[in-house]
C-alpha cells in the first residue's frame, strides 16, 4: 500500500501522487544536481505526447519531456555502463527513455535533447540523465517540417 501525497507543480496546479510514483535521480539532472526526486506526470496519455517531469521538492522545477523512442524511429542510445549501473539495468532496452524539450515562444521551434536523455528504470524508479556516446543532437527540431 502506497501513501498518496499532494504536490504543487509548475504547470499543472496541485497534483496527487503516490510515494511509489517518485523517481529518484541520485545525481540529479545536469545543472540541477541538488534535486533528486521527480515524478513523471502523463496528463495527455497518448503515444508521442509530452509528459511533465516535475520536481517533488521544488514546484518551480519542471521539464517537459517526450518518450524518445515513440517519436524518433531507429533511436539507439549508447550509454556508459556506469550510467546504466546507477539505475540498475544491464541493457538500455530495459529502460524508459525520455528527451527533455526546450519550448520557446513558438511551439514549432521546440527542440528535444537526443544527446543526453533521461533514462528511467521503472522497476525500481531510479533515473539518470546520461550523455550518450552517439552523435545525436542536443537540439533536435521536433517539428522538422514546421
Partner 1 sequence: MLVISRKINEGLIINDDIEIVILEASKDKVKIGIKAPKNVNVSRKEIYSTKQENITASVCPRKEVLEELIKSGKEK
Residues between 46 and 105 with contacts to partner 1, criterion CB under 8 A: 46-50, 60-64, 100-105
Buried b (16+ CB within 10 A) or exposed e, 5-41: eebebeeeeebebeeebbbebeebbeebeeebbbbbb
Give the nearest distance from C-beta 46 to partner 1 in angstroms: 5
Q: Are 7 and 56 in contact (CB under 8 A)?
A: yes
* Residue 41 interacts with partner 1 (CB under 8 A): yes or no: no
Nearer Cβ to partner 1 (84/101): 101
Query: Beta strand 23-25 with 126-129: parallel, antiparallel or unpaired?
Result: parallel
* Residue 115 interacts with partner 1 (CB under 8 A): yes or no: yes
Identify the residue among 19, 30, 76, 80 touching partner 1 (CB under 8 A). 30
Give the nearest distance from C-beta 20 to partner 1 in angstroms: 25
Identify the residue among 7, 29, 86, 120 touching partner 1 (CB under 8 A). 29
* Residue 107 interacts with partner 1 (CB under 8 A): yes or no: yes
Q: Are 53 and 61 in contact (CB under 8 A)?
A: no
Amino acid at each position: 500500500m502506497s501513501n498518496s501525497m499532494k504536490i504543487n507543480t509548475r504547470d499543472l496546479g496541485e497534483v496527487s501522487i503516490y510515494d511509489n510514483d517518485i523517481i529518484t535521480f541520485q545525481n540529479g539532472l545536469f545543472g540541477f544536481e541538488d534535486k533528486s526526486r521527480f515524478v513523471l506526470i502523463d496528463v495527455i496519455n497518448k503515444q508521442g505526447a509530452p509528459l511533465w517531469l516535475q520536481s517533488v521538492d521544488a514546484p518551480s522545477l519542471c521539464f517537459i519531456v517526450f518518450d524518445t523512442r515513440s517519436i524518433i524511429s531507429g533511436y539507439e542510445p549508447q550509454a556508459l555502463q556506469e550510467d546504466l549501473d546507477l539505475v540498475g539495468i544491464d541493457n538500455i532496452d530495459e529502460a524508459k527513455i525520455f528527451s527533455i524539450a526546450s519550448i520557446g515562444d513558438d511551439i514549432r521551434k521546440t527542440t528535444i535533447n537526443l544527446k543526453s536523455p533521461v533514462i528511467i528504470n521503472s522497476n525500481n524508479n531510479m533515473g539518470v540523465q546520461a550523455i550518450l556516446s552517439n552523435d545525436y543532437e542536443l537540439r533536435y527540431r521536433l517539428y522538422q517540417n514546421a
